[in-house]
Structure 1
Amino acid sequence: MVGLVLASQSPARLATLRSAGVEPEVIVSGVDESVITDTDPAGLALALAELKARAVADQLTQRPRATPTLVVGCDSVLELDGASYGKPHEPRVAVERWHAMRGNKGVLHTGHFLVKIIDGQQVYAAGRGAATVVHFADLSDAEIEAYVGTGEPLAVAGSFTLDGLGGPFVTGIEGDPHNVVGISLPVLREMIIGAGHSWPELWS
């Protein structure tokens, strides 16, 4: 037996894991993401993922468990025209980003960091990034205002979703669709194998 802890409050990541037969324990890291200042989009995503995973792993090592535990942290960043974009938080910012995104394409980077804990000891740690090219529809000003008005783009990396209201505004992707949602299942599977376990061990 092995337990999986998701160090993320993202409902999309949780839903993705659940749809793949995995029911993780969710522990939100509560870290201050502003302490990471890496300007490289891929490096930023991976550094934030490690920050979250290690924070939760440190909590768990203080209360040892009987079975091995895998802690996975993830973070996503949109690279558009060489710049990095996380969550916009404000409607004005989301509107500005969509004006730049419409009819354009970007790269969604998701960092994954895994920590394995046995008997209160962190015995393994590894990080990997994944990148997926996303093509955006040429939205009208009215569509942008309406979409931002729903509030959905404010709390997601890149100001869009693939699995929600933003789905109709994504015309195509090149790569793993799960990565765009926020966690690449193929990448996570390979990382779990690297930690000495198999994906079926995680099935509920």
Structure 2
Amino acid sequence: MTRLLLASGSPSRLRLLREAGITPLTAVPAVDEEALEAAHPQATVRELVTLLARAKAHAVLPRVPALLADEDTAAEVVVVACDSVLELEGSPVGKPHTAERTRALWQRMAGSSPVLWSAHWVGVLTRDTADCGDATGPGDSARPAEADGPDRAAAGWRLRDSREAAGQTRVHLASPTERELEDYIATGEPFEVAGALTIDGLGGAFVRGIEGDHHNVIGLSLPLLRDLLADLGVPWTSLWNRPPA
């Protein structure tokens, strides 16, 4: 039996997987995103979003045994970690958090066509008869697990292999009126989403069109995830219809 563990607290990512026939376990990673960004001032947006997804994965890996306390039959665990960042005029734009920052951001990007990046880190953990230590250093883009240093993930588990990749989707935005923008800000919806925009919520009316995978804008590209899983030897359909976590 293979279980999928989503290393994310995003309701949108969880809903995407459930609607695709997969009911994952979930764990919210503790990662200081602003500190990580500050530590890599020269990183491109693609590099930054990949670093963030990788950090989230490694924050969750040591917790696998506890998360699977009632899942003794699971022989493998697929860990999926994602992060999304908007690229606007060549610079990264994450979650605005406040009304003031949301307002200033939308005033900059209204009517423009920024790129939304969503990075995916996917690793396969298998049970290990030896007592293993905690997760160690980060991996590298689209490379096997040896890039992650020692292949130990957590006590009783071994990181068999991993992959990472980032998808991009260009988003063509409308120009909300002043009232529309203030009403949108009042809902609080844009505060905790990358680039202060969504296509699966109240902000969808402000998106005129996209170029690329729409799942990617929501935060998890199902086609890209399927490809990464296939490269790791995990059939997409083998994860369908899992019992509720």
TM-score, normalised to structure 2, is 0.80
Secondary structure at the residue paired with 1:131? strand
In structure 1, distance between residues paired with 2:88 and 2:205: 19
In structure 2, distance between residues paired with 1:200 and 1:135: 33
| 2:152 equivalent to 1:115 | no
| 2:188 equivalent to 1:151 | yes
Contact 1:57 1:115 survives alignment (8 Å): no
The CA deviation at 1:139 is 1.4
Amino acid at match of 2:90: G
Structure-to-structure mapping, 1:74-89, within 5 angstroms: 74-89=82-97
Match of 2:30 in 1: 30
Match of 1:8 in 2: 8
| 2:164 equivalent to 1:136 | no
Structure-to-structure mapping, 1:32-181, within 5 angstroms: 32-37=32-37, 38=40, 39-60=43-64, 66-119=74-127, 120-181=157-218
After the TM superposition, which segments of 4 or more aligned residues of structure 1 sit over 3 Å from their partners?
61-66
Contact 1:45 1:77 survives alignment (8 Å): yes
In structure 2, distance between residues paired with 1:62 and 1:9: 17
The CA deviation at 1:61 is 5.7
In structure 2, distance between residues paired with 1:97 and 1:36: 21
The CA deviation at 1:143 is 1.2
Amino acid at match of 1:55: A
Contact 1:61 1:121 survives alignment (8 Å): no
Q: CA RMSD in A?
A: 1.4
In structure 2, distance between residues paired with 1:32 and 1:2: 30
In structure 1, distance between residues paired with 2:30 and 2:47: 20
| Closer/same/farther in 2, CA of residues 139 and 114 from structure 1, 3 Å limit | same
| Closer/same/farther in 2, CA of residues 143 and 117 from structure 1, 3 Å limit | same
Match of 1:21 in 2: 21
Deviation track 1:13-37 (CA, whole Å, cap 9, x = no partner) reads 0001111111010111122223422
Q: Which runs of 5+ in 2 are unaligned?
A: 128-156
Amino acid at match of 2:120: H
The CA deviation at 1:115 is 1.4
Q: Which of 228, 234, 240 is residue 197 of structure 1 equivalent to?
A: 234
In structure 2, distance between residues paired with 1:62 and 1:146: 42
| Closer/same/farther in 2, CA of residues 63 and 21 from structure 1, 3 Å limit | closer
| Closer/same/farther in 2, CA of residues 63 and 85 from structure 1, 3 Å limit | closer
Amino acid at match of 2:51: A
Larger Rg: 2
Q: Which runs of 5+ in 1 are unaligned?
A: none
In structure 2, distance between residues paired with 1:32 and 1:104: 29
TM-score, normalised to structure 1, is 0.96
In structure 1, distance between residues paired with 2:11 and 2:67: 26
